Structure 1
Amino acid sequence: MSKQPFLTDIKTIRERARQHIEQGAVTEGYEADRENVIDLLNAALATEIVCTLRYKSHYFMADGFTASIAKAEFLEHAEQEQQHADWLAERIVQLGGAPNFSPEGLLSRSHAEYVEGENLREMIKEDLIAERIAIDSYREIANYLGEKDPTSRRIIEDILAQEEEHADDMAGLLEGLGKVESSAG
């Protein structure tokens, strides 16, 4: 039995690293369908952009006495969604792709919808629905990536964890709003 801790000897790894160096981070060991992964990540990017815009809209449009806590959450989530978009764009570039920031067709590329809501309750509900869509979509993407692209999977899983927190936050806001409304009525 060899004492070598690697599945592949270092000499072979070094030789492979010298081949196709123009592909940057995408080495011979990359097993996923790169173009498909780039497409999936661009759809996630569109989703994050739409969510950023929706949360920003809700931040500016929410008003009234009960809106102050929701406004703070909307702003925090908008900033986090923008960070997710940045992570996705960076990974797309690492894979040799181009992040699609074009406003043309943004909604059709996004998994989430852009629904503003007429009042605070509707805004929170739409944000919760969008988070639930992102959760299911990102879970499927993470499962698809599996061990074929662990870096992209980890990014998606990190975003997924934060989207689950966002959904929990929105569910809590919705519940709190219901309590305020019932005690005021």
Structure 2
Amino acid sequence: MTIFFLKIEYLLKSEFEEPLMKGKQKIIDAFNALLANELAAIDQYFIHSRMYEDMGLTKLYERLNHEMEEETTHADWLIKRILFLEGVPNMTKRRDLLIGQDVKSMMENDLTLELEVVACVKDAIKACEEEQDYQSRAVLEKLLFDTEEDHVYWLEQQIGLIEKIGIQNYLQSQLA
């Protein structure tokens, strides 16, 4: 019976006094740096999508709304992981926005942002490996896949189309 109470006491003590998972500050900082990029991407895609809508480019408007939703999902993953690691998500920090004035410059600016996100994710993955935080790395690997295989790929494809068929033909293809 004494062993039973000692076990209960140990479990209660460890649950309330020592957290089971306390993240390394290096990982929390890396996730907050990524969060700043994701929040900026949400804002940048929001502005660009409304500019496309104003231009009557319905397909681009719809695509950027989709991208904005995905960036919101990425930010959600990062916030949840930061909280799990007992950190504080920094919701006020953002990287500078790169707002284009025409379709091609908007896409080029969005690509610049996404490539910066890719570099930041890769740095964060290295930090996770150094700290042996494989669960955080798994979150980042999902984010990296989405960013490289969807966002970057689509933007490079669209910029390539503009160069191949010309801006006027491209714009015509993006109407409703």
TM-score (norm 1): 0.75
Task: State whether structure 2 residue 143 is matched by structure 1 residue 159.
Answer: yes
Q: 2:108 aligns with which of 116, 125, 130?
A: 125
1:37 aligned onto 2:27 = yes
- Structure having greater relative contact order (Cα 8 Å, sep ≥ 6): 2
How far apart are 1:47 and its partner, in Å? 0.9
| Cα 1:98–1:35 shift into 2, 3 Å | same
For the residues of structure 2 that align with 1:77 and 1:54, how far apart are their CA atoms? 10
Q: 2:120 — aligned with what? A: 137
Q: Which residue of 2 aligns with 1:172?
A: 157
Which amino acid is the alignment partner of residue 155 of structure 1? V
Task: Say which is worse superposed, 85-94 or 140-149, in terms of deviation.
Answer: 140-149
Aligned twin of 1:49: 39
Distance (whole Å) between structure 2 residues aligned to residue 77 and residue 182 of structure 1: 22
State the percentage of identical aligned residues: 24
Q: Is the 8 A contact 1:24 1:94 kept in 2?
A: no
Kindly report the root-mean-square deviation, in angstroms, between the aligned alpha carbons of the 2 structures.
2.5
Structure 1: unaligned runs, 5 residues or longer: 1-15, 28-32
- Residues 25 and 95 in structure 1, CA contact (< 8 A), matched pair in contact too: no
- Given that 2:26 and 2:127 are in contact with CA atoms closer than 8 Å, whether structure 1 keeps it comes out as no
Distance 2:156 2:50 in 1: 20
Q: Distance in 2 between matches of 1:167 and 1:20?
A: 45
Structure 1 pair 90–183 and aligned structure 2 pair: CA distance change class (3 A): closer
- Are the aligned partners of 1:25 and 1:94 in contact in 2 as well (CA < 8 Å)? no
Task: Mark the CA change 1:182 to 1:53 in structure 2 (over 3 Å): closer, same or farther.
Answer: closer
Alignment partners' CA distance in 1, 2:36 and 2:123? 17
C-alpha distance in 1 between matches for 2:11 and 2:45? 43
Q: Which has the higher helix share?
A: 2
Amino acid at match of 1:121: K
